Amino acid sequence: MARDALPEYAHRNSPRKFTQPQLFACLALKAFHKTDYRGIVAILTDSPTFGEAIGMSEVPHFTTLQKAERRLLHSAAASALLDASISHGIQAGCMKRRASLSAVDGTGFESRHISAYFVKRQKRCKTRYRTLTYTRFPKAGIVCDCESHMVLAVVAGRGPGPDIKHFKKALSGAARRVRIDTVLADAGYDSEASHVFARQELGIRSIIPAKIGRPTSKRPSGHWRSVMATRLDKSKYGQRWQIETVNSMIKRLLGSALRARGYWQQCREITLRALTLNVMIVWRQIGGFLQSTLKWL
């Protein structure tokens, strides 16, 4: 995947000890093992077969991986890597070139490894100044294919804030990678502008319940919001929970707490976890095919 998306070396005068695809493979392995730079270096040292599998003759220094993450996960390179992951997912049979149903939602991450029980106990304390409740946290807007759970687009940012802010950027990025027939979103994306952007500019049918604002018996303003209030396709909208499954997969398999502390470092770490999830889905598909072939033989 990284060979298709990245040049072999960052510069013509680079030391050429490690290729960029090799360094990205190490970063994906770091996310998979839920460890830091020093931890993945220790794993590569103790398990030389990992390095041999990707053609590395020696283990990189942890600062090499840190600089590689800053270089390989900026917006242009991360977009190319996500394109390549979708392409490999289509080739492996995980998903189709045309996504009949996709869903978009925002999800928050923890910025520190703090026990949830400890935070709950601190809230009960009235004699001490409470500093453990989060006022700002890392957040991402994710678009997924409902059938395969592949991540089609990820927009990292910071919350709290309305989900609708990342709707256009996330949906346009997903529509550039695959053809989407219908996009599902919850009431946090409810607006006439969202429907107009999806339907008229991208040619995607949008299903968003018109529930934002105060409860009223009047029909909502706007043509498409009025259509949603009267003719919402509940059978298709019931599949919106697939994006909740994707959010849960990222947090359960790769962790809900980020190790990075800076804003841009956190954005890159969120992007890396989305890419790693796609790699895991594709590998699961390939592994299942190999197992079935071996049984047949």
Report which of 235, 234, 183, 192 is spatially closest to residue 210, judged by C-alpha positions: 192
Q: What is the pLDDT of residue 291?
A: 58
Q: Where are the beta strands (DSSP E) in the chain?
A: 98-108, 137-145, 151-159, 179-184, 205-207
Q: What is the pLDDT of residue 285?
A: 86
Can you read off the two tokens belonging to residue 39? 């931890």
Stated pTM of the model: 0.88
Q: What is the pLDDT of residue 193?
A: 94
d(CA 23, CA 72): 9
Which domains occur in the chain, in start order? 1-72 (no CATH), 96-111+137-296 (3.30.420.10)
Q: What is the pLDDT of residue 111?
A: 84
Give the C-alpha distances (Å, rounded to integers) separating 211 from 106, 216, 229, 244.
Answer: 17, 10, 8, 19
pLDDT tens-place values along the chain, 297 residues long: 999 999 999 888 888 999 999 999 999 999 999 999 999 999 999 999 999 999 999 999 999 999 999 999 998 999 999 999 999 999 999 999 999 999 999 999 988 777 767 767 766 766 555 555 567 899 999 999 999 999 999 999 998 889 999 999 999 999 999 999 999 999 999 999 999 999 999 999 999 999 887 777 788 888 999 999 888 889 999 999 999 999 999 999 999 999 998 999 999 999 999 999 999 999 988 876 555 554 555
Q: What is the pLDDT of residue 293?
A: 52
d(CA 184, CA 118): 36
d(CA 195, CA 232): 13
Task: State the Cα angle at 27 between 23 and 32, rounded to 5°.
Answer: 145
